[in-house]
């Protein structure tokens, strides 16, 4: 209804009204005095104001329209104005801009709100998963220990995926003569491992032949965690230990399968022999076969080595000479098992194996440096999954050792060989066998110097080493001091060949 129609209706109503009604002239007149213009606020649900004028009255002075303020959630309109509002003539009003601006702000706010909600949902899910993974819902069982309920995370950390291949180790019943002046009550190496002696962790590494009966590779790897070092002791496979094997050869590589002690597990027999003779507590073991080495080396992309001269393992199995020759898995197996051309036979093979160890260590360090620790962990996971090794170490234990090894420098990794010399032994079957007679005193001295950092010095009487060549009849002492660091092994050449002396 426009103003004219409204006034006409009011006039008609006034004419038809009874006489007793008060005249409209008595109504309060509109104040026409000039007043400062004020913005009119309309509530969210308030009807617009109607300016009613009475016929015959002078119309108030016209004023510029005032922009209407709408509620926060009410859509504004460019043509909504209130009469009598005051506008600044110098201001350029753009009624389209607020709508556009409002649209942009709403869109931006909408994205922000969605992002906040998504983040909240993801954090909630992560919290629920973390809570679930840390809830003690699984039973953990380990030989010799009471069952306990653990979380999924703890269960995975303690998981031993290949322990069933060889079994658990028995807790030693012998006294390891821990030095109380070093290993005090509050002494710790900072690495939480299931250790027999705090400060060190020792792993027995065994490499089997094709029949998986003889351990042709025997390494004792002692991680001196508190000292930040790694010491490796190579035990020649021909070392004579007649008190531990029923095999007529008396060689230590036969203890695994032919031990006198048939009640213990095969791996436990070798561990007992090592501990009794060398006084080194064994915390864990790793075993592998020659054909598993092939897969492991191929997995990491080969091992670069300097090959001084061509190595002919067999007629159709040749390793070419050259610098930085990347050995494939098969070539790596040939390299560590090759022995026929060396002047010292099996000792030459042992010396060549330490060159391979140094190259493999360098490969591990390069993986961590170039590809990161996660890549190394993925390799370990693949090795575990395919059971290319057998070990009683958990996933967490092996990861911790890998981390420790990855920060070692080549100067802090050393390798020694058990001192001794070649000898001939007549077995119980009447046959002669070539053996390696251990030099007991030189061996005990070497052990005290490098492999007993947290134990009291071992006495000769505390070792079960049996000599077949007495100390006064030694033919040579060439192998009594063979210690060398991996840094020096980078420049080492191959052992002497028999052909060089013909």
Residues of the chain with CATH 3.40.630.190: 142-490
Residue ranges of the alpha helices (H) in 338-429?
Answer: 346-371, 373-385, 395-406
What b/e string do you get for 239-266 counting C-beta neighbours within 10 Å, with b at 16 or more?
Answer: bbbbebbebbbbbbbbbbbbbeeeeeeb
Q: Are 390 and 357 in contact (CB under 8 A)?
A: no
Residue 79 to residue 103: CA distance in whole angstroms: 18
pLDDT tens string 319-377: 999 999 999 999 999 999 998 888 888 899 999 999 999 999 999 999 988 998 889 88
Least confident of 82-91, 272-281, 463-472: 82-91
Average pLDDT over the chain, rounded to whole?
A: 81
Answer CATH for 142-490 from 2.40.30.10, 3.40.630.190, 3.90.1150.10, 3.40.190.10 = 3.40.630.190
Encoding tokens for residue 19? 């006489």
For residue 177, what pLDDT band results from cuts at 50, 70 and 90? very high
Residue with tokens 């069933």: 164
Tokens standing for residue 366: 């390069």
From residue 60, alpha-carbon distances to 10, 29, 36, 39 in Å are 19, 11, 13, 18
Site of tokens 């509620």: 71
Per-residue pLDDT, 117: 81
HSE-up of 59 (CA within 13 Å, CB side)?
8
Q: What is the pLDDT of residues 196-233, one digit of tens each?
A: 999 999 999 999 988 889 999 999 999 999 999 999 99
Tell me what pLDDT residue 81 has. 46
């Amino acid at each position: 209804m426009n103003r004219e129609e409204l006034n006409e209706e009011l006039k008609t109503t006034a004419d038809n009204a009874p006489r007793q009604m008060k005249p409209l002239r008595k109504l309060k007149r509109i104040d026409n005095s000039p007043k400062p213009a004020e913005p009119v606020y309309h509530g969210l649900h308030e009807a617009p104001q109607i300016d009613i004028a009475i016929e015959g009255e002078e119309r108030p002075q016209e004023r510029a329209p005032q922009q209407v303020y709408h509620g926060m959630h009410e859509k504004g309109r460019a043509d909504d104005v209130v009469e009598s509002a005051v506008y600044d003539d110098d201001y350029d009003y753009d009624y389209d801009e607020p709508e556009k601006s409002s649209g942009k702000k709403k869109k931006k706010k909408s994205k922000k709100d969605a992002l906040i909600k998504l983040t909240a949902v993801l954090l909630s899910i992560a919290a629920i998963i973390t809570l679930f993974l840390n809830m003690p819902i699984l039973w953990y069982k380990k030989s010799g220990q009471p069952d306990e309920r653990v979380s999924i995370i703890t269960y995975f950390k303690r998981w031993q995926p290949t322990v069933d291949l060889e079994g658990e180790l028995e807790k030693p019943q012998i006294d390891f003569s821990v030095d109380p002046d070093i290993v005090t009550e509050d002494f710790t190496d900072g690495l939480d491992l299931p250790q027999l002696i705090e400060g060190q962790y020792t792993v027995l590494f065994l490499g089997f032949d094709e029949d998986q009966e003889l351990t042709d590779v025997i390494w004792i790897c002692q991680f001196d965690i508190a000292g930040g070092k790694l010491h490796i002791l190579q035990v020649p496979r021909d070392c004579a230990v007649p008190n531990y094997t029923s095999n007529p050869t008396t060689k230590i590589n036969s203890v695994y399968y032919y031990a006198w002690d048939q009640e213990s597990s095969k791996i436990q027999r070798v561990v007992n022999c090592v501990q009794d003779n060398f006084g080194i507590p064994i915390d864990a073991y790793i075993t592998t076969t020659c054909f598993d080495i092939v897969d492991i080396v191929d997995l990491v992309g080969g091992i670069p080595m300097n090959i001084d001269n061509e190595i002919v393992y067999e007629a159709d199995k040749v390793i070419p000479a050259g610098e930085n020759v990347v050995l494939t898995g098969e070539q790596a197996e040939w390299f560590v098992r090759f022995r026929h051309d060396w002047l010292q036979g099996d000792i030459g093979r042992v010396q060549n194996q330490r060159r391979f160890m140094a190259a493999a260590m360098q490969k591990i360090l390069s993986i961590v440096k170039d590809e990161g620790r996660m890549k190394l962990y993925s390799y370990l996971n693949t090795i575990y999954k395919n059971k290319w090794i057998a070990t009683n170490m958990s996933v967490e234990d092996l990861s911790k050792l890998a981390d420790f090894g990855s920060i070692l420098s080549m100067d802090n990794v050393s390798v020694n060989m058990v001192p001794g010399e070649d000898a001939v032994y007549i077995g119980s079957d009447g046959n002669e066998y070539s053996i390696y007679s251990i030099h007991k005193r030189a061996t005990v001295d070497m052990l005290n110097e490098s492999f007993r950092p947290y134990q009291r010095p071992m006495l000769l009487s505390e070792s079960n080493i049996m000599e077949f060549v007495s100390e006064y009849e030694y033919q040579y002492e060439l192998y009594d001091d063979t210690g060398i660091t991996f840094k020096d092994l980078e420049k080492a050449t191959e052992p002497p060949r028999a052909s060089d002396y013909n």
